[in-house]
Structure 1
Amino acid sequence: MIEIDEEIPVPALPGRVWEVVSDPGEVVSCISGAELGQSHEDGSFDGTLVVKFGAVRVRFGARVSLDLDEPEREGCLSAKGRDGQGATRFSAHATFRVREDAGGAWVHVTGEVTLAGKLASLIEAGAGAVVSRMTRDFADELVRRCAGTAEVVQPRRSSGWTRLRAWWLRIVHKRQIDPSEVRSGQAQ
Structure 2
Amino acid sequence: MKALTEHDIRTSFVNCSKGEAQRAALPRDLADRPWADLDFLGWRDPGALDRAYLVAEHGDRIVGVALRIAVQRRGFLHRNMCSLCLTTHPGAGVSMMTARKAGRAGRDGNSAGLYVCTDLACSLYVRGRKRPEIGGRFDETLTVGQQIERTQAKLAAFLDQLLVGSTSQPMSMKGD
TM-score normalized by structure 1?
0.32
* More strand by percentage: 1
* More helix by percentage: 1
Name the larger-Rg structure.
1
Larger RCO of the pair (alpha carbons < 8 Å, separation 6+): 1
TM-score normalized by structure 2?
0.33
